[in-house]
Amino acid sequence: MGILSARDVEQSFKDALDGALVTTRIYEREVGLNKNHYTSLWLDVKRDGFRTAVLHVCQLQELPHFTVIAPVDRGESVELLYHFALYHGHHLKAIALAIRVTLQKSDLTIPTISDIIPGAIFAERETQEMMGVKVTGIPDDRRLFIPDDFPQGVYPWRRDETGPHDMLRVLPGRQGIQHE
């Protein structure tokens, strides 16, 4: 497969994922005097189709460049955004690809991708300790950034009762941050 445009990449995901693809969005921005385009492609994928989506990224570019997982606490659910730089190494052809999986708080598990992309291991370890999402099949499930004596069951990036709110030092005259 040669280098595709963002629209063709979008279509190839629609073909590959079928019903597992929820929504897609393409963002473009003109940059500089020559009006070159910065492009990002956002895909919402169901958990069932998530690994298929990552395998499809590997079809589009062999050994693709995975950047990081950005987890977001959205109240009832947790979103995991897997960021890729698709077509990196090609002059002005790269697409900022983000694959989003939305997980209900009652079932915070996601399959590992570090068997497909070994460079994802740090991001998966970080997602486990910071967001409290269990990565199933992870080859190394130790903490990465949080020290071992940090309490279990507290996740710094959560905005609910499992967040670190009780651990904050509130300065005199200031109000502590209330969780929802």
Partner 1 sequence: MSDSIQKTTFTMPIGPIHPAIHEPIRLDLSVDGEEIVDVDVAAGQVHRGIEWIGMNRNNPVQSIYLAERVCGICSACHPFTFVQAVEQAAGIDVPPRAEYIRVIIAEMERIHSHLLWAGVAGHEIGFESLFHLVWRVREKVMDLTEYITGNRNSKAMYQIGGVRRDITEDQAPTIRKTLDYYKSVFDELKKLLLDDPTVKMRTRGVGVLSREDALRLCAAGPMLRASGVAADVRQDFAYAAYADLGVRAITPDIFTGAVAGDTYDRIVVRLLEVKQSIELIEKALAAMPDGPILTEPKIAKLLAVLKKADGEAVARTEAPRGECMHYVRMKAGEDVLEAWKIRAPTYANLIAVPTMLIGQQIADVPIAFASIDPCLSCSNRAVIVDRHSGTRTELDSEQLHDLSVEKTRRLNSELTYK
Binding site for partner 1 (CB under 8 A): 27, 29, 31-34, 36-38, 40, 42, 63, 65-68, 70-72, 81, 83, 85, 87-94, 96, 98, 117-122, 143-148, 156-157, 164, 177
Q: Least CB distance from residue 83 to partner 1, whole Å?
A: 6
Q: Least CB distance from residue 18 to partner 1, whole Å?
A: 25
Nearest to 146 by CA among 137, 157, 162: 157
Contacts of 174 (CB under 8 A, 6+ apart): none
Structure tokens at 22: 């929820």
Residue number with CB closer to partner 1 (50 or 87)? 87
Q: How far is the CA of 170 from the CAs of 35, 107, 173, in angstroms?
A: 48, 33, 8
- Is 26 in contact with 10 (CB distance < 8 Å)? yes
Q: Least CB distance from residue 17 to partner 1, whole Å?
A: 21
Q: Least CB distance from residue 149 to partner 1, whole Å?
A: 9
Q: How many residues does the chain have?
A: 180
Residue number with CB closer to partner 1 (1 or 31)? 31
